A and B are shown apart, each in its own frame.
Chain A
Amino acid sequence: MTQATLHPSEIRMDDPAIFEEGRAHDIFRILRREAPVHWTPDSEYAKGFWSITKYEDIVHISRNPQIFSSERGITSFEPHEVDPNDVNARLYGKMIITMDPPRHVRMRRLVNKGFTPRAVAAWEPHIREITNQILDGIAKKGEADFVTEVAALLPLAVICEIMGVPREDWEKMFQYTNQVLGGGDPEFQTDVPEELRGTPEGARQQINLGTAKMFQYFAQQLAEHRAHAREDLVQVLLESEVDGQKLTDEDILWFCFLLILAGNETTRNAIAGGLLALLEHPAEKQKILDNPGIMPIATEEIVRWTSPVLHMARVAKEDVEIRGVPIKKGQRVVMWYPSANRDEDVFADPYRFDVTRQPNDHIAFGIGEHYCLGAGFARLEIRVMFEELFRRFPDIELAGQPARLRSTFIGGIKHLPVRFTPEA
């Protein structure tokens, strides 16, 4: 109720509670209407930044990497003092997600052939098989934590197979991903002293530790690939050249780090958030049960509705204006995708979850240079998961409240209790 009278100057987009408590869309609605280019001032932990909430402005920023750079990090949190040992600073310019053209284009071309719609389509039978193995795991129980027992496992399995991570190590990849991308949530701050849990310093330490573990793991993988060549993406990277130069080990390790994180945290939340939306809108779920053929269209709506990546940031390389608001060179602009995907100027009835929505020009995968490399896999995994889930467990329902991730970067669901009629 107080939301209706909230003034933009009272809104701080660095507050993870907005997302943890499920209040984000009320805030975004206010920002789009009253302050579409909105300043969150410096805090004791991070520098101030601009929040961009209109679809059109986010497309504009995305299309102009020569002005809005990715090289100085792509999240909203930039510390006042850049500690060179901190992941936040070390990743500057190192991953394709933190590169600008022309290097970005060259590096992305090393891997993108494996991610085109045609390449991805070949995976469908295998992804269906993995999906059914996952569902076998809950089939007789009649209840499950849909996130940890189902939604997380499919994207994790697929990215691990692409990267050649053996099955016995998948659980590690899941843990490390949670510790990096969920490092701001006390639940995943398992490596830091108790008194730091839930604090920004605890988050910083946990993210650094999770990153170190991921690097150590893949450094070992590189050594094993050098001893015995394999057929996976790590091998492709080891043999790749850019401008006649082999990639450095550091280049490859950052690549692995990015692909594992991006490949498993995001689709997990689209699947979990998608099921939550479908169970909260039973008429929409019924449409899919009646006609599973609409799943490709429904998938787009699930992605629009959940927008699992909450933001990407850019740094202005020159003084520039957005909607007449001056942005200074060096300042950070944060593009809020869930807001763009509820923009009243683009979507008819944007707050309606409609599995038959067409057109549906959402930008949950971003747009432009940095358009999600794994979008094809995400779409396929979401579609196949719901096709198989509803075929086998059509009466699946909520058995409790979702637990949301404390993060301003990933719109995550940590746990989602469900129940269903078990298979005989």
Chain B
Amino acid sequence: MRVVVDPDLCEGNRKCELAAPEVFRVGDDDLAQVLIEQPPEELREKVERAARLCPRQAIRLIED
């Protein structure tokens, strides 16, 4: 699984950071950074929750 954030959509709402702090951090530029581009399976549930809760639906999960 690969995680991609669309910078055109992200507005720094931080839902991803709260749902999966291991994988996302919102920087001072109000954009979510992906800390682990290919997170391990044990983080899948958290990452999926982050993607689901993103207000602007800016997170895409691409299956290998």
A281 CB–B CB distance under 8 Å: no
| B contact residues, range | 10 to 19
User: B14 and A367: CB pair below 8 A?
Assistant: no
Cα distance A44–B14 when bound, in Å? 46
* B56: min CB distance to chain A, Å: 5
How many Å lie between the Cα of A116 and that of B8 in the bound state? 14
- Chain A residues with CB under 8 Å of B12's CB are 116-118
Interface size on A, residues (CB 8 A): 18
CB nearest to A118 among chain B residues: B30
CA distance A375 to B56 in the complex (A): 12
Interface residues in A302-348 by Cβ distance below 8 A to B read none
Q: Which residues of A contact B9 (CB under 8 A)?
A: 105, 369
Structural contact, B8 and A105, CB atoms closer than 8 A? yes
Question: How far apart sit A369 and B55, CA to CA, in the bound complex (Å)?
Answer: 8
- B30 contacts A116, C-beta separation under 8 Å: yes
B56 near A371: Cβ-Cβ < 8 Å: yes
Mask: chain B, 7-50; 1 = CB below 8 Å from A; 0 = not: 01101111000000000000010100000000000000000000
* A residues in contact with B61, CB < 8 Å: none
Residues of chain B lying within 8 A (CB to CB) of residue A112: 11
Cβ contact within 8 Å between A369 and B56: yes
B1 CB to nearest chain A CB (Å): 19
**Minimum CB distance partner of B14 in chain A:** A117
Q: Which residues of A contact B28 (CB under 8 A)?
A: 118
Q: Is A394 an interface residue (CB 8 A)?
A: no
Assess the A63–B11 pair: CB atoms within 8 A: no
Tell me the dominant secondary structure on chain B's binding face. loop
Residues of A within 8 A of B57 (CB): 62-63, 367-369
Task: Confirm or deny: A365 has a beta carbon within 8 angstroms of a beta carbon on chain B.
Answer: yes
The yes or no answer to B5 lying at the interface (CB within 8 A) is no
Residue of A62, A105, A116, A369 with most chain B CB atoms under a 10 A cut-off: A116
Contacts of B56 in A (CB 8 A): 367-369, 371
User: A115 at the A/B interface (Cβ < 8 Å)?
Assistant: yes
Confirm or deny: B53 has a beta carbon within 8 angstroms of a beta carbon on chain A.
Answer: yes
Query: Taking A113-B30, A116-B12, A116-B30 as contacts, is the C-beta distance between A361 and B55 under 8 angstroms?
Result: no
A residues 337-383 in Cβ contact with B at 8 Å: 361, 365, 367-369, 371, 375
In whole angstroms, how far apart are the Cα atoms of A113 and B52 in the complex?
A: 23
Q: Mark A102-130, 1 if CB is under 8 A from B, else 0.
A: 00010001001101111100000000000
Residues on B with beta carbons closer than 8 Å to the beta carbon of A369: 9, 56-57
* A residues in contact (CB < 8 Å) with B: 62-63, 105, 109, 112-113, 115-119, 361, 365, 367-369, 371, 375
A-B contact pairs, 6 of them (CB 8 A): A112-B11, A115-B11, A116-B30, A117-B12, A118-B30, A367-B57
Residues of B within 8 A of A (CB): 8-9, 11-14, 28, 30, 52-53, 55-57
The 5 closest A-B pairs by CB, nearest first: A371-B55, A116-B30, A368-B57, A116-B12, A105-B8
Extra inter-chain contacts (18) besides given A116-B11, A117-B14, A369-B57, CB under 8 Å = A105-B8, A115-B11, A116-B12, A116-B30, A117-B30, A118-B12, A118-B30, A119-B30, A361-B52, A361-B53, A367-B55, A367-B57, A368-B56, A368-B57, A369-B56, A371-B11, A371-B55, A371-B56
